[in-house]
Structure 1
Amino acid sequence: MSSQRPYLLRALYEWIADNGMTPHVLVDARMPGVRVPAHAVKDGRIVLNIAERAVAKLELGNDSIRFTARFAGVSQSVMVPLEAVIAIYSRETGQGMAMPDEPRTPPAAQADAVEIEQAAETPSGDATETPETPPEPPKRGGHLRIVK
């Protein structure tokens, strides 16, 4: 399945803007691919105002947020991979949402899973096999924080 992040981000952006509020995103600036002004980063994070009046050429894509904005009077290009977005919220009310963690299976683990499935399909001839225990459901990660 495709990631839910871009859809949630666009929906919340639209909801915040439609209600006359200012959308902000909290970004983990240490993530690979994040291009933001270094002088604006504090404790590895940056809050970006992505209101239509604050940015130019805003693109809320499926993989990243891209726009041009002024920082200390200098126009700069900004690019934020969606994996680096921690939350989107309204500056005025603080209402919004922390982005959910995406379940990721590394490619090597996927290959291992295929090999295990194939091995399970081949009869082993061993009558002492015990039935497998069902896998535990994935743990829900993350929690909401009030970001001011």
Structure 2
Amino acid sequence: MMNALESTSTRPYLIRALYDWCTDNGFTPYVAVLVDDTVQVPREYVKNGEIVLNISFDATSSLKLGNEFIEFKARFAGTAREIMVPVNRVIAIYARENGQGMAFPVAVPTTSVGPSAVDGTAKAPSGPPRTAGGDANIVQLVSSDEPPAGPDGEPPRPSPSGGGRPSLKRVK
């Protein structure tokens, strides 16, 4: 009998299920990815170590939602690019139109300080640590036009416009 630690991850199955839910309901599936050296994406579109990718049928070709990797071809500024994302680097999948989806915890070393890939200098990890258990941080989808939570941890007030595209925000 296999225990929970020996079984395969549920993450790729949940990603495929939410992808199917998005497409069945006419929504555009987006994945948010925590970028490191194992992620093959156009680096010029990475912001704050993350990238959001449209993985809809219309935006990709040869999409494979595997147990280890999400692979596809997509155009960025008119240039075809090969995209390969390890499933364990996906931090969320959601519908662009309404923000409904799921966020995942991502394990990141909390004590290591390594060289920067750009200039070779050591840098401390930015932001609070992420843990596999997910209890250190909660990730929620919020509208990108909302201001960040205040120092007292109070959530932001709703935007008067009520619009905006969803984005990820980490809260403690």
TM-score normalised according to structure 2 size:
0.61
* Within-5 A mapping of 1:80-119: 80-100=85-105
Q: State the SS of the aligned residue for 2:80.
A: strand
Cα deviation 1:94-140 (Å, max 9, x = unaligned): 000002457xxxxxxxxxxxxxxxxxxxxxxxxxxxxxxxxxxx955
- After TM superposition, which residue ranges in structure 1, 4 or more long, deviate above 4 angstroms? none
Is residue 2:6 matched to residue 1:11?
no
TM-score (norm 1): 0.71
- Counterpart CA distance in 2 for 1:101 and 1:44 is 13
1:33 aligns with 2:28: no
Contact 2:69/2:85 (<8 A) preserved: yes
% of aligned pairs identical?
51
Contact 2:91 2:106 in 1 (8 A): no
Contact 1:87 1:97 in 2 (8 A): yes
Does residue 51 of structure 1 match 2:56? yes
Which AA in structure 2 matches 1:51? S
Output the amino acid matched with 2:22. I
Q: CA RMSD in A?
A: 1.7
> Which protein shows a greater Rg?
1
Which of the residues 20, 37, 41 maps onto 2:26? 20
Distance 1:14 1:79 in 2: 20
Aligned positions, number? 112
Which structure has greater strand proportion? 2
| Equivalent position to 2:138, from 117, 135, 143 | 143
Instruction: Give the match for residue 121 of structure 1.
Output: none
What is the CA–CA distance in structure 1 between the aligned matches of 2:8 and 2:64, rounded to whole Å?
19
Bigger helix fraction: 1
Code of the residue aligned with 2:104 in structure 1: it is: M
> 1:99, 1:80 → 2: CA distance?
15
Amino acid at match of 1:66: E
